[in-house]
Structure 1
Amino acid sequence: MATFPRKLALSLIAALAVAMTACSPEEQGGPPPTPAVTVAVLGAQDVTLTRELPGRTNAWLVAEVRPQVSGLIAERLFTEGELVQKGQPLYQIDDATYRAAANSARAQLARAQATLAAAKLTAERIAELAKIDAVSVQDNDNATAALAQAQADVGVARAALDAANVTLGYARITSPISGRIGRSNVTPGALVTANQPQALATVQQLDPIYVDVTQSSTELLELRRSLDEGRLSRGDESMPVTILLEDGSAFPYQGTLKFSEVAVDPSTGSFALRIEVPNPDHVLMPGMYVRAELAAGIRADAVLVPQRAIARDPKGNTSAMVVNPDGVVERRPVVVSRTIGDQWLVESGLAAGDRVVIEGLQKIAPGAPVQITDTVDNAVSTGQE
């Protein structure tokens, strides 16, 4: 009976030996399969580098409506927040006093014109009598002087009437520009005075609209240094400017850079740039915070590498896995400067034609052979900074 457990143990040992002989070659120390990777073939291309600057919107034209004569507001002639046209009536001031002054000036002109007519007839008669020596030379001279004085009186009276009509016209306050008018600061019955400091209302022209952005003087110096050294070439200054709204979306209309300030603000170390943007739908309103993407320059024969191909070590050094012509992986130190879309702009370490691993990185190591299963052409970039 003691031989049965021994036979059972021998059977188990034999079964285990058979199982071990059935293991895979890899488990028995054979060579592992070659890892499969996807690479991106780098290419050289001209890339427009952009810079993103913060800014605020400002109205293209701003007019503060103030009275030029004193009086009571008789009527408001507009709706707050609506679009008004240049010359459109906005307020009516009680003009009874100014209308009476205009009527008085008109009567003074009529009197002066009547006096002129009488002086002209008198001068003509005395001139005829002087030809036959029926009157003295002195009388003729007096008649001529009286005519000239009457003509001058007519001119003075006409000027006074014009001034009275101008003052009467100021009683009807009109819009100095076309644009959108804000709220009214006065109501009918309010007393206003000529050239008062408080505006009755403000009209702003919002199409087009200005976007004022600021750029640091340090960045400007770096840009100029890059241009001087030939690392960048200046693009077309009329290149469109993309406006990004507060929620990050792009404004549908692109702007144009109008001018750069000629002095640096000593308190901030930056200078201002002004961009003109079409705003037909009045989406942009004065005071909004926006960002502007402006072209900084063109990098000729630039090399871009996908961001997922770049790794950083704890010290912040960047590198990429490159497949050499022999199909072996190399770890290549790389220097990158800025992102352009989903890619890095390469300063050194990579060149056009290099095959950079973008998929399968977790399965490879430097010096190991790999099998390329897919190749991506990375020669065309559609992103911006």
Structure 2
Amino acid sequence: MKTVYANARIFRGGRFAEGALAVDEGRIVADATPCAGDRVVDLRGLTVIPGLVDVHVHLREPGFAYKETIATGTAAAARGGYTTVCSMPNLDPAPDSLEHLARQTEIIRRDALVRVKPYGSITVGQRGCGEIVDFAALAPEVVGFSDDGRGVQSAELMEEAMRRAAAVGRPIVAHCEVDELLRGGYIHDGAYCREHGHRGICSESEWRQVERDIELAAATGCQYHVCHVSTKESVELVRRARARGLRVSCETAPHYLLLTDEELREEGRFKMNPPLRSREDREALIEGILDGTIEVIATDHAPHAAGEKLRGLARSAMGIVGLECAFPLLYRYLVLPGTLSLEWLVELMAVNPRRIFGLEGGTEPGDEADFTVLDLAAEYRLDPATFRSKGRATPFAAWPVRGRAVRTVVGGREAYVCEDTTIANSNR
């Protein structure tokens, strides 16, 4: 018995077309004609896309379950339309050995509602310095290697890490930050920072390490991916690297595309790392999205306990949540005004991450049945109180948005179905 999702607008081969999608034994099958005994779900004109993929999330478990758990984080992912998330390694213990990684993968097997692909750390203890992990041992179990939250300060150490990563066929996924340029900063070193007496983080603290790492990637042949690009200089460096034919890619996040330091408030929900940058940086990011330099939009979903985000800009923890609001924000503020096409947004959030990181799932026959059903006409305001994530801190609280996931299917299993049947079954 197969399940047929009928009367849908389906994204396949880079475009949308009316049709049906059939799932049998967890995979998409070519024959979508219902037979006796098949389950038929009438989608009544709703939109089906390959399940969203977030290559940069913080699930906080093991070690920091008071902030988020794999259960709550993947529930948030499913509600946001994500079928795969890649979990960053700033955990306790850090996934720097098979023994430590097993602590995380055991919880994933038990509690995850969507696919979770863990990163291994680059350095032992995920300290950004010292001893490099055993890349060969960890490679079969991880999607890549990262010390996210810390930049690897030593060029020699990063070069060796890249050589080892290249040897085992896994990417280095880099948080780029030069410690000596931070100078105690916590928001962008711009006009708001100076006018309100804050300490600034200069753009060079990011792009200087991007520049260094691109040359190391060229020397080692390593696949290299830059996390949460926020500056115009970083965009240009990646653009030039791609023009040279290097295996370099990058991501940015919705908040860098929709906000600048001009919108800062004296609240912890506006604090993240890297910080919100200038209007010129935001414009460069949009240009990088449009010309293909930036191939991925990731959320950097980074939940904290409520008290950790209520201490103002200076003292609050770095990080905001994003899994449950990324798509509706980007659809409302980039697609509907005409900045991006819906097709291009799907490439950025679902297709390109799979291609770059070698991940499964999609809407083509033979694919693992990982897809998301969207109601693109749903209009509402973002309400963090409704989030399934433990985290509530977002600068987008109360923003009007449009579009939402009403079904999220992972390996043929419905990981999320919208509770509001008037939305889930609406003829849009």
Provide TM-score, normalisation by structure 1: 0.20
Q: Decide which structure has greater helix share.
A: 2
Greater C-alpha Rg: 1
Provide TM-score, normalisation by structure 2: 0.19
Q: Which has the higher contact order (CA 8 A, sep 6+)?
A: 1
